[in-house]
Amino acid sequence: MSLSVHVHPLQRVTLAEAAAWHRVVAASTAHDLPGVPTPDPGQIHAQLTRPALGSHRLTWLATGADGIPVGVAGLRVFTSPGQEHLAELELHVDPAHRRLGTGSLLLSAVVAACRTENRRSLIAAAAAAADSPGEEFSERHGFRRALTLDHLVLRLDEPAVADLPRITEAEHPGYRLTGWTGTVPDDLADAFAEAKNAMNDMPVGDLDYGSVAWDADRVRAMAKVVADRGDTLLTIAAVHDDGTMAGYTEILLPQGSGPRAQQYDTAVVPAHRGHGLGLWVKAAMVCRLRAEHPGVVEIETDNADDNVHMLAVNRALGFRSYRRTRELQLDVSAD
């Protein structure tokens, strides 16, 4: 154990502290996940200083004897009903300073905070690979494997993408497509919230993730959180003739992220499944991106490896697997 590393909590994160955090994350990501884009300094600062939906954040910075940042830890403490047992960990150690005890010191601070916050479950993500340092570290500290995610990327210049307008234009009797940017229109807010609740039956493996009840106020609050940190949220939805929102898909355009968009939720309400609506709304979103955001050249998404239906939809669109991650969970209720 390194005695020269000091771990201290960050209260109001300054620009300098956010820059230090970014340096550690950039070094860690480049080493462990080559080819995966690193959030830019502005995104990191927004992440650390802007409120998240249904949670609050605790952060720690580890520095060496010379004051150089060597590790960071962030804890998202969930506060929404149905998730009050849960916290989520992000931990990075600069590769040049690993195996000196820094990660263990940071994790000790995080676990103590979880117990103070009366949380019983701590979840974290790590690359799923035989030589994954994150997975090895997590399992050594008592985390168990709970879920495997398949990460996929769609290049918008792939030949298969040229055929998507045909899918978008196919008739779906009784349904129509609509879309918006940012906050849902008032006349669709209640229907959108109801559709959001369909995410509660998505496959989560053995992850003790809980569930969230959505209403119109919550979907508006989510859109505000995204806008306040400088990101853009695009939504395409399928609406039934009776006014029910049957399904939807969301894409996030991170501020300053360049050519890669991030898939957010895609869901089809159980009563409307079996009509190809998931493929329909996602194809329409790809067409919208190509028309309105030509600077976006690829979309990244992830699916639980047992989410057979959505994986089939994504592969039909042209998504291809490029890496896998593991969701890990630690019981922090015991001493």
Tokens of 87: 């916290």
CA-wise closest residue to 235 among 199, 284, 274: 284
pLDDT at position 1, please? 45
Residues of the chain above pLDDT 70, percent = 98
Looking at the fold, whether 53 and 179 belong to one and the same domain comes out as no
Question: Of 96, 119, 142, which residue constitutes the final position of a domain?
Answer: 119
For residue 249, give the CATH number of its domain.
3.40.630.30
168-191 confidence digits (pLDDT tens): 999 999 999 999 999 999 999 999
Lowest mean pLDDT among 110-124, 231-245, 251-265, 319-333: 251-265
In a domain, 227, yes or no: yes
73-99 confidence digits (pLDDT tens): 999 999 999 999 999 999 999 999 999
233-261 confidence digits (pLDDT tens): 999 999 999 999 999 999 999 885 578 99
Looking at the fold, whether 194 and 77 belong to one and the same domain comes out as no
Q: Could you tell me the CA-to-CA distances from 213 to 84, 195, 216, 246 in Å, in that order?
A: 13, 11, 10, 17
pLDDT at position 205, please? 83
pLDDT at position 28, please? 95
Range of the domain at 47: 6-119
pLDDT at position 318, please? 93
The SS3 call for residue 142 is coil
Q: Does 272 score more than 90 pLDDT?
A: yes
15-48 confidence digits (pLDDT tens): 999 999 999 999 999 999 888 888 888 889 988 9
Strand ordering across the sheet containing 121-127: 6-10, 55-63, 69-78, 86-93, 121-127, 320-331, 144-155, 298-304, 260-268, 245-253, 232-240, 175-181
pLDDT at position 335, please? 56
Angle at the Cα of 252 (from 251 to 253), degrees rounded to 5?
Answer: 120
pLDDT at position 37, please? 82
200-210 confidence digits (pLDDT tens): 888 888 888 88
Question: Of 119, 144, 172, which residue constitutes the final position of a domain?
Answer: 119
290-312 confidence digits (pLDDT tens): 999 999 999 999 999 989 999 99
What is the number of other CB atoms lying within 10 angstroms of the CB of residue 197?
A: 15
